[in-house]
Amino acid sequence: MAFWAGGSPSIVDYFPSEDFYRCGYCKNESGSRSNGMWAHSMTVQDYQDLIDRGWRRSGKYVYKPVMNQTCCPQYTIRCQPLQFQPSKSHKKVLKKMLKFLAKGEVPKGSCEDEPMDSTMDDAVAGDFALINKLDIQCDLKTLSDDVKESLESEGKNSKKEEPHELLQSQDSVGEKLGSGEPSHSVKVHTVPKPGKGADLSKPPCRKAKEIRKERKRLKLMQQNPAGELEGFQAQGHPPSLFPPKAKSNQPKSLEDLIFESLPENASHKLEVRVVRSSPPSSQFKATLLESYQVYKRYQMVIHKNSPDTPTESQFTRFLCSSPLEAETPPNGPDCGYGSFHQQYWLDGKIIAVGVIDILPNCVSSVYLYYDPDYSFLSLGVYSALREIAFTRQLHEKTSQLSYYYMGFYIHSCPKMKYKGQYRPSDLLCPETYVWVPIEQCLPSLENSKYCRFNQDPEAVDEDRSTEPDRLQVFHKRAIMPYGVYKKQQKDPSEEAAVLQYASLVGQKCSERMLLFRN
């Protein structure tokens, strides 16, 4: 039908939590609990809406902690890149990288990096057996073919029961995806409130000397352009003009610090490439083995894994496979929406890889792994700062893409509290799904692991499931509203599972996504 002409709808299998698992954070053998679903396919708008309700993916497995029961509540955290200013410690990491690139300087003594987000090692460790089983059982191609046939048959029969519901739900997706193209500039403007200073959306007054410097820099860039990859320039050099250098009495911007010019005889060359991982691009395929070897060494040295784990198939399943449909609307980012690997190339070899999702409203960080030989460069911090700058770059033309999601913030786990240092940032209220500045949340978290951050006692989840009969079900190669499907079912546990799913994904997603029932 016309409303899915641009791609497949989201198709998910839901698995309610039946037990507690070992927690990778506090090591409690039976303390972690989450609900999950296997996503055969998923649109970027649906995933955007899901992470705004506390969901997160690991490969094609999408899970949501049972916040008031799990031992270490995991709160979704997002940073506001447009207002972000690097802290003193952030600046030290950026300067350390510049010194290494320029002169080959290696800092003396040990250098502790921020721990990586434990997307697969810890958060879903208890679900490994389920995920492996699902990966074998779930046949995406068969399901996709079935869905296409079902949609085509519905298109031929306009009198099919309640087709307008699907049409309306898909229209809302189209509206939310509308935005501008991203430019290659990282220059960021924010429009102040009336009466609050100069309009920063307009170019600042500049001296002739500064204009001449910019022209010279542009000329040099044109003579020796950064390599382009998949229509998206590598980040090793400024891909467009940057703001004039800040005066001595003004703090340098994040871009000034990252892209500070290096001498011609610099000791090292760093290049950052963005390659689509799902579906895998030719560039991604060409570097897959090298990328896997970096990950294997990372797991052996940092996480003390044995040499025979993880296997290449495990690596592919968790860090390369993604349910997100690649979407390249004309008014979206040049690279499109979906899942990508951000590869850090030092002197022609990969030393780190950031796994990211580019969504309608944000860049979502999934995972980062790196060559342990370069731990002294604090690559966890450095990559986060580069991803924040990357988000600002995408925002230039794609105005609604303005947040950087850092996964989960776990206040009860000391090694995971570092994410709160990227300010300004917000935490997601686990009951009403509104964003609350982290400063307002911390006092409550000091007193209790689980907190409702929304201080309005009357506030409710605005997207709560109010009409479960409108939920869309995919059953026996046919799409139907739950109101029709439930008349065919007699198992009371089936209704409980479907209603729980509806409450967790919200009304909008329940009407857009197809819940697969066998």
Residues 390-444 have pLDDT tens digits of: 999 999 989 999 999 999 999 999 888 899 999 999 999 999 999 999 999 999 9
Q: What's the rounded Cα separation, in Å, for the pair 230 and 281?
A: 8
- The SS3 call for residue 491 is coil
Q: What is the pLDDT of residues 182-236, one digit of tens each?
A: 333 333 333 344 444 444 344 445 556 656 665 665 555 554 444 334 434 444 4
Structure token pair of residue 121: 């090692």
Q: What's the rounded Cα separation, in Å, for the pair 95 and 456?
A: 44
The pLDDT, as a whole number, for residue 243 is 52
DSSP string of 272-329, one letter each residue: EEEEEEETTPHHHHHHHHHHHHHHHHHHHHHS---TT-S-HHHHIIIII---BPPB--
For CA atoms 441, 442, 443, 448, give the dihedral sign.
Answer: positive
Under DSSP, the state recorded for 450 is: S
To which H or E segment does residue 461 belong?
none
- The SS3 call for residue 177 is helix
Q: What's the rounded Cα separation, in Å, for the pair 297 and 316?
A: 15
Crossing angle for the helix pair 492-512 and 44-51, nearest 10 degrees?
110
The pLDDT, as a whole number, for residue 182 is 33
DSSP string of 31-84, one letter each residue: -B-EEEEEEEEB-HHHHHHHHTTT-EEETTEEEEE-TTTSSS--EEEEE-GGG-
Q: What's the rounded Cα separation, in Å, for the pair 231 and 274?
A: 10
Place of tokens 């509540």: 73
What is the radius of gyration, based on Cα positions, of the chain? 24
The pLDDT, as a whole number, for residue 108 is 82
Task: Name the phi and psi angles at 290, rounded to 5.
Answer: -65, -40
Closest CA to 69 of 118, 26, 33, 39: 33
Under DSSP, the state recorded for 483 is: H
Q: What's the rounded Cα separation, in Å, for the pair 394 and 358?
A: 10
Low-confidence ranges of the chain (pLDDT < 50): 1-3, 5, 115-123, 125-127, 140-141, 155-204, 223-238, 240-242
Q: What's the rounded Cα separation, in Å, for the pair 316 and 305?
A: 17
For 195, residues 6+ apart whose C-beta sits below 8 A from its C-beta are none
The whole-angstrom distance between residue 90's C-alpha and the CA centroid of its chain comes to: 21
The pLDDT, as a whole number, for residue 250 is 81
Cβ–Cβ < 8 Å for 4, 45: no
> What are the C-alpha distances in Å from 174 to residues 68, 177, 354, 439, 510?
35, 5, 29, 35, 16
Q: Is the peptide bond prior to 279 cis by the omega test (within 30 degrees of 0)?
A: yes
